[in-house]
């Protein structure tokens, strides 16, 4: 499995969706509930038979709606497509049955619409407009940024605008993120070693961080509480924090991992906590008070939390 | 009757006194005789003052002498007097009972003017004091030794004479004490020092250090003579001047050493980058290293020899406490030698830490390797050799300022060497990894045909790694390799890794089954030895090579996991993997590392394959042997 996302529209329970990645068996989406009072994990399974899941994201408005990027394989070709789905009603809020009970209760997702990418390319990821009404999504396909409008009952996706990255060679976006600030009009994308910021209203590039990492940039995340602050991680084993108003130098650089860093995420309430996962089989939680919105000196524990847990965020 | 005759003669001579005085006091006459005559007569005249005729004589002679005094005083103001005449003049005036304070004022100002004139001559040689810094000033007309010579003999010599005559003239007279002389002398010597400093500042480059030392020595000796007469004239200032000059020269030497080192590095880079005619071997790294190390060491020794001129036994100022203590420790050992070694380590390290990511031209890997070896050698032997040499030539005081201990410098050198070697591994690893990455990303793994041979990129990878092995082997020793098992070279590259993970594919599908088998294999991974990919390497060849191979193979693994393979794609990965295993195992410290990584590549390939039908092992071997 490579794809994991929180259920963004859910504010009470702690729930994650995980997509499987298997070439041989039917793929699934697991809805995982974490009950933090009792420390119990519950799971429900949904079938996603169209293909292995490479990226998954949930709607910020409707708890039951999600989007996936999946591989459609034929004998000669593999195409990464994207689609929007709806979960069965009763699973939206999870269920707290004990794990033994969930035996063969696998239900299916209802396909709402495809994001047509025949003109563009392989979909790398799908981003929902944060804090929006769940009607706007952006997908990154090869070197294109596509902004979609989901019609009424989300059963049709209409391409409302797009932008393409021009340049030499085969440019390909690897990941992107929608900034929750500036009225949700900015996104950041990563292609090769460059991070670019775009304005979604004009579909123009706003800023560009060249050579953000020595090698490929793998993931980005915006600081939820501080405007202009962006974190990126890449194959040079580093995590870098940027102020998008001054992109010549990173504000801070972390070199804790010993191999490629695949993911970086801010904690949404305490933005001094940053989680990073790497293919050196480590997940590191870092405490970056100096660049967070937390007033300095108010934290009780000041030392860096470096929990090196041998969990596998991506199954390795 | 004879008594009366004598008396009459005396009277006569007395009466003649004014006439004689007038004759002698007239300009062109002999004032000295007049004085003598007057001195003789004065007592008698005073005694018989009450007699009117004697009174008249006394008055007249008094008037003449006053005239004479005025004349002499006027003469005093004449600039053309030389010191001897001046002294005579003043002496006479003193005898005439002129007030001593005035006289010594006049004496000093007159002498002072003369000395000022001499200083002005010296100053004329210097370009105007330009506060904005050294403009394009022409080199001074004479060398520093000449300048000091003239200054010392003319100015200092005259000042000494002046002081001596002042003392002899005014010794013990009220109102004309030593204080005035000392203040006067101090002011002049201060000016002299200033001029000398300005002249020293003109010494461009490193010139001739022995000349500088001789000049300073001469200055110091003459100054000593003066200071014996007038201790307050500026002993500390003079010593400080010499100390400053010495320190400045040492600093210049440090900068020269730094420039030299950078020049040597430039030569090395050029030698590495020079296009070679085909068939001719490039410059061997050991040769380049030996040349570099020996030139630096040679230059350092030469510099130390020059600096030692300052503390030679026949140099007068070398006995100053500054030169015995602080100079040796602070200026030379710390300021020159230690500072240079530190700077060298920092500069070498800068090649690894530098902004190579930002697209600036990075150092060639061979240079990184060379510098790593250089720093390592420094840590092992060179630093202690240099420090011993320095301590021999410049013996340190026992109770002096703190010195940097040798081990601290060695630690810095080792740190730099480690950083450089790690960076080398990363750079070379990244280069090979990039090749592998491109090869996996751009190939169509679904539609590929049945593999007939090993892919060209794999052969290139093996060639490159062999070349790196040779390169590293030139500078670093082999290192310890784990004893190979007997069948290592014939070890089958099996698609299903035998000893470790159990079969991954449960026959029946339940929603939770894949989780179980994966869980099992992951748990097993937790307990097997973790391979640290970007970890510090040891200073031997196999460790470096293992590091590079680990980086490359891990990249291959991660890239394969991102693709979807068809049956023949899997078989191609199988063939490539076996080829790599055949040729790479001998470079690694532990062949199990290579084996393990290649096993993971195979397992991931199977996992990503739509139709996993591996090729027959004998066919795989055949293809690899042919390739």
Backbone torsions φ then ψ of B74, nearest 5 degrees: -65, -40
- When pLDDT is averaged across residues B212-216 and rounded to a whole number, the result is 83
Residue of A45, A77, A315 with shortest CB distance to B522: A315
Check whether residue A135 and residue A224 sit in a common domain: no
| Domain CATH number, residue A175 | 2.130.10.10
Mean pLDDT of B252-279: 83
Same domain for A210 and A145 = no
Distance from CA of B534 to the nearest CA of A (A): 5
Contacts of A316 in chain B (CB under 8 A): 522, 525
Q: Residue B49 is encoded by which pair of tokens?
A: 């003052």
Residue A96 belongs to some domain of the structure: no
The mean pLDDT value for A17-35 works out to 81
Give chain B positions within 8 Å (CB) of A71. Answer: 564
Compute the average pLDDT of residues B217-242: 77
Q: Is the pLDDT of residue A99 over 70?
A: no
Residue from A165, A47, A185, A19 nearest A109 by CA: A47
Average pLDDT over every residue of A282-305: 65
Residue B534, sorted as left (phi over 0), alpha (psi -120 to 50) or beta, turns out to be beta
Residue reference for tokens 């005093």: B76
Residue of B nearest to A257 (CA): B534
CA distances from B276 to A49, B362, B405, B460, B579 (A): 60, 21, 45, 21, 31
Whether A237 and A209 map to the same domain: the answer is yes
Kindly state whether residues A192 and A256 are assigned to the same domain: yes
Contact yes or no for B533 and A315 at CB 8 A: no
Name the range with the highest mean pLDDT among A268-277, A306-315, B42-51.
Answer: A268-277
Burial class for B151, CB neighbours closer than 10 Å (0-12, 13-18, 19+):
buried
**pLDDT given at position B130:** 53
Task: Verify whether the Cβ–Cβ distance B533 to A280 is below 8 Å.
Answer: yes
Give yes or no: residues A202 and A175 share one domain. Answer: yes
Residue A269 burial by CB count (10 A; 0-12/13-18/19+): exposed, middle or buried? exposed
How many whole angstroms separate alpha carbon B442 and alpha carbon B146? 77
Out of B70-74, B200-204, B518-522, least confident range: B518-522
Same domain flag for A179 and A224: yes
Q: In this predicted structure, which of B308-312, B385-389, B498-502 has the lowest mean pLDDT?
A: B498-502
pTM beyond 0.80: the answer is no
**What sign has the CA pseudo-torsion B600, B603, B608, B609?**
positive
Asked if B359's CB is within 8 angstroms of A258's CB, the reply is no
What confidence tens digit (pLDDT) does each residue in B448-459 have?
888 888 888 889
Q: Is B511–A310 a contact, with Cβ atoms under 8 angstroms apart?
A: no
Instruction: Give the Cβ contact number of residue A142 at 10 Å.
Output: 18
Q: Which of B359, B511, B530 sits opposite A28 (nearest CB)?
A: B511
**A23 → closest Cβ in B447, B530, B608:** B608
Please answer yes or no on whether B511 and A78 come within 8 Å at the CB atom. Answer: no
| Domain that residue A122 falls in | 1-90+107-164
Q: Does ipTM exceed 0.85?
A: no
Range with top average pLDDT, A214-228, B27-41, B162-176:
A214-228
Angle between helices B100-125 and B157-170 (to 10 degrees): 180
Show residues of chain B in contact with A236, CB under 8 Å. 357
Residues of B in contact with A76 (CB under 8 A): 446-447
Q: Read off the DSSP letter of residue A9.
A: T
Extract the tokens encoding B81. Answer: 């007097």
Q: Is B511 on the interface with A (CB under 8 A)?
A: yes
Interface of A with B (CB under 8 A): 20, 22-25, 28, 45, 71, 73, 75-78, 103-104, 106, 210-211, 213-215, 236-237, 258-260, 279-281, 310, 312, 315-316
CB–CB contact A237 B610 (8 Å)? no
What SS3 class is residue A215?
coil
Asked whether residue A22 falls in the same domain as residue A151, the answer is yes
Q: Which of A171-185, B100-114, B122-136, B586-600 has the lowest mean pLDDT?
A: B122-136
Q: Which helix (H) or strand (E) segment is A283 a member of?
A: strand A282-287
Q: DSSP states of A97-110 as a string?
A: --GGGGTT--EEPE
Nearest to B433 by CA among B533, B555, B531: B555
> Chain B partners of A73 at a C-beta cutoff of 8 Å?
446, 564, 610
**pLDDT category, A101, cuts 50, 70, 90?**
very low
In degrees and rounded to multiples of 5, residue A301 shows phi and psi of -100, 120
* Closest chain B residue by Cα to residue A213: B357
If asked whether residues A67 and A175 sit together in one domain, one would say no
Lowest mean pLDDT among A148-152, A308-312, B169-173, B275-279: A308-312
pLDDT of residue B368: 87
In a domain, A313, yes or no: no
Helix (H) / strand (E) containing B117: helix B100-125
Same domain, A62 and A145: yes
Residue of A191, A212, A255, A259 to mutate for B, most B C-beta atoms under 10 A:
A259
pLDDT at residue B232, as a whole number:
65
Percent of chain B predicted with pLDDT > 90: 2
Q: In the numeric block, which tokens belong to residue B309?
A: 């001129």
Closest-approach residue (CA) in chain B for A262: B558
Q: Is residue A111 part of a domain?
A: yes
User: How much is the average pLDDT of B549-560?
Assistant: 88
Task: Tell if the CB–CB gap between A23 and B607 is shorter than 8 Å.
Answer: yes
Place of tokens 């999946």: A70
In a domain, A98, yes or no: no
Contact A162, A142 (CB under 8 A): no
Closest partner residue to B533 (CB to CB) among A103, A236, A258 is: A258
**Cα B602 from Cα B99, distance rounded (Å):** 115
Q: How far is CA B577 from CA B283, B548, B602, in A?
A: 35, 17, 8
pLDDT digit string (tens) for B167-193? Answer: 777 776 666 567 777 777 788 888 888
Q: Are A9 and A158 part of one and the same domain?
A: yes
Considering the domain architecture, whether residues A4 and A141 belong to the same structural domain is answered as yes
Q: Which residue has the higher pLDDT, B594 or B46?
A: B594
**H or E element, residue A137:** strand A136-141
The shortest C-alpha distance from B456 to chain A (Å) reads 22
- Is B261 strand, coil or helix? helix
Q: Is residue A301 part of a domain?
A: no
A263-277, B528-542, B553-567: least confident range: B528-542
Total Cβ atoms within 10 A of residue B356: 16
A35 and A147 assigned to the same domain:
yes
B514: contact with A, CB 8 A cutoff: yes
Rounded to whole angstroms, the Cα distance separating B582 from A193 reads 34
pLDDT in tens, A190-221: 888 888 898 888 888 888 888 888 788 999 99
Residue A95 belongs to a domain: no
Q: Are residues B569 and B446 in contact, defined by beta-carbon separation less than 8 angstroms? A: yes
Sequence-distant (≥ 6) Cβ neighbours of residue A208 within 8 angstroms: A194, A195, A196, A197, A247
* Domain contains A128: yes
CB A170 within 8 A of CB A191: no
Query: Does residue A26 lie within any of the structural domains?
Result: yes
Tell me how close the Cα of B535 comes to any Cα of chain A, in angstroms.
7
DSSP 3-state assignment of A86?
A: strand
CA B295/CA B523 separation, integer angstroms: 57
pLDDT (0 to 100) of residue A241: 92
SS3 B50: coil
| Helix H or strand E segment including B511 | none
Number of domain units in chain A: 2
Indicate the angle between helix axes B406-442 and B365-377, nearest 10 degrees.
160
Q: Would you mind telling me the total number of residues written for chain A in this entry?
A: 316
């Amino acid at each position: 499995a490579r794809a994991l996302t929180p259920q963004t529209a859910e504010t009470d329970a702690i729930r994650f969706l995980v997509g499987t990645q298997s070439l041989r068996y039917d793929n699934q989406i697991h809805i995982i509930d974490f009950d933090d009072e009792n420390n119990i994990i519950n799971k429900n399974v949904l079938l996603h038979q169209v293909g292995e899941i490479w990226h998954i994201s949930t709607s910020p408005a409707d708890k039951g709606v999600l989007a996936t990027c999946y591989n459609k394989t034929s004998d000669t070709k593999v195409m990464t497509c994207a689609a929007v789905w709806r979960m069965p009603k009763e699973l939206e809020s999870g269920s707290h049955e004990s794990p033994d009970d969930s035996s063969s209760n696998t239900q299916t997702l209802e396909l709402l619409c495809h994001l047509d990418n025949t003109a563009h390319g392989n979909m790398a990821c799908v981003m929902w407009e944060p804090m929006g009404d769940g009607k706007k999504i952006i997908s990154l396909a090869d070197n294109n940024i596509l902004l979609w409008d989901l019609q009424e009952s989300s059963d049709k996706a209409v391409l409302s605008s797009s932008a393409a990255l021009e340049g030499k060679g085969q440019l390909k976006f690897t990941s992107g993120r929608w900034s929750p600030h500036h009225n949700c009009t900015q996104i950041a994308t990563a292609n090769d070693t460059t991070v670019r910021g775009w304005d979604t209203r004009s579909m123009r590039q706003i800023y560009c961080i060249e050579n953000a990492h020595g090698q490929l940039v793998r993931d980005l995340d915006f600081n939820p509480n501080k405007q202009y602050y962006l974190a990126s991680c890449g194959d040079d084993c580093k995590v870098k924090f940027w102020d998008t108003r001054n992109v010549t130098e990173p504000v801070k650089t972390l070199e804790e991992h010993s191999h490629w860093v695949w993911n970086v995420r801010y904690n949404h309430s305490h933005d001094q906590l940053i989680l990073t996962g790497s293919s050196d089989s480590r997940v590191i939680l870092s405490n970056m008070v100096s660049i967070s919105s937390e007033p300095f000196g108010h934290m009780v524990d000041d030392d860096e939390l470096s929990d090196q847990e041998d969990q596998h965020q991506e199954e390795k | 009757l004879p008594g009366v005759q004598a008396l009459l003669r005396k009277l006569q001579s007395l009466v003649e006194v004014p006439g004689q005085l007038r004759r002698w006091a007239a300009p062109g006459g002999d004032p000295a005789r007049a004085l003598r005559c007057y001195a003789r007569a004065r007592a008698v005249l005073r005694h018989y003052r009450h007699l009117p005729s004697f009174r008249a004589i006394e008055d007249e002679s008094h008037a003449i002498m006053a005239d004479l005094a005025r004349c002499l005083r006027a003469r005093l103001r004449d600039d053309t007097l030389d010191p001897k005449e001046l002294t005579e003049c003043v002496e006479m005036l003193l005898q005439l009972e002129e007030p001593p304070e005035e006289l010594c004022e006049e004496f000093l100002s007159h002498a002072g003017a003369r000395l000022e004139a001499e200083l002005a001559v010296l100053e004329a040689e210097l370009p105007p004091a330009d506060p904005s810094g050294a403009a394009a000033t022409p080199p001074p007309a004479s060398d520093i030794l000449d300048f000091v010579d003239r200054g010392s003999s003319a100015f200092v010599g005259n000042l000494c004479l002046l002081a001596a005559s002042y003392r002899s003239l005014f010794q013990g007279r009220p109102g004309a004490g030593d204080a005035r002389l000392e203040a006067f002398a101090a002011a002049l010597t201060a000016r002299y020092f200033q001029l000398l400093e300005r002249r020293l500042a003109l010494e461009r480059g490193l010139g001739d250090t022995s000349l500088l030392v001789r000049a300073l020595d001469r200055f110091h000796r003459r100054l000593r003579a003066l200071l014996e007469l007038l201790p307050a004239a500026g002993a500390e200032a003079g010593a400080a001047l010499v100390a400053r000059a010495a320190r400045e020269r040492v600093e210049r030497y440090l900068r020269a050493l730094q420039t030299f080192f950078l020049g040597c590095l430039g030569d090395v880079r050029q030698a590495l980058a020079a296009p070679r005619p085909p068939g001719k071997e490039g410059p061997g790294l050991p040769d380049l290293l030996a040349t570099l190390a020996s030139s630096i060491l040679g230059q350092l020794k030469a510099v130390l020899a020059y600096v030692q001129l300052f503390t030679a036994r026949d140099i007068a100022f070398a006995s100053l406490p500054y030169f015995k203590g602080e100079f040796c420790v602070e200026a030379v050992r710390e300021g020159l030698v230690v500072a240079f070694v530190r700077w060298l380590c920092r500069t070498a390290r800068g090649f690894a830490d530098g902004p190579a990511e930002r697209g600036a031209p990075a150092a060639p890997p061979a240079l990184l390797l060379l510098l790593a070896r250089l720093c390592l050698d420094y840590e092992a032997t060179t630093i202690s050799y240099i420090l011993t040499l320095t301590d021999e030539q410049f013996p340190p005081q026992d109770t002096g300022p703190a010195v940097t201990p040798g081990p601290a410098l060695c630690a810095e050198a080792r740190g730099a060497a480690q950083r450089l070697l790690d960076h080398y591994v990363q750079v070379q690893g990244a280069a090979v990894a990039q090749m592998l990455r491109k090869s996996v990303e751009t190939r169509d793994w679904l539609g590929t045909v049945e593999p007939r041979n090993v892919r060209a990129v794999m052969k290139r990878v093996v060639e490159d790694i062999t070349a790196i092995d040779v390169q590293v082997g030139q500078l670093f020793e082999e290192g310890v390799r784990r004893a190979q098992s007997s069948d290592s070279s014939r070890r089958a590259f099996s698609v299903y890794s035998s000893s470790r993970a159990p079969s991954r594919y449960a026959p029946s599908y339940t929603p939770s089954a894949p989780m179980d088998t994966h869980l099992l294999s992951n748990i097993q991974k937790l307990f097997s030895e973790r391979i640290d990919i970007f970890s510090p390497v040891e200073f031997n060849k196999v460790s470096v090579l293992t590091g590079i191979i680990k980086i490359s193979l891990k990249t291959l693994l991660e890239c394969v996991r991102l693709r979807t393979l068809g049956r023949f794609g899997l078989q191609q990965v199988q063939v490539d993997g076996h080829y790599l295993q055949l040729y790479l195992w001998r470079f690694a410290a532990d062949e199990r590392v290579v084996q393990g990584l290649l096993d993971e590549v195979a397992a991931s390939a199977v996992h990503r394959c739509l139709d996993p039908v591996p090729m027959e092992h004998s066919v795989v071997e055949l293809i690899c042997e042919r390739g």
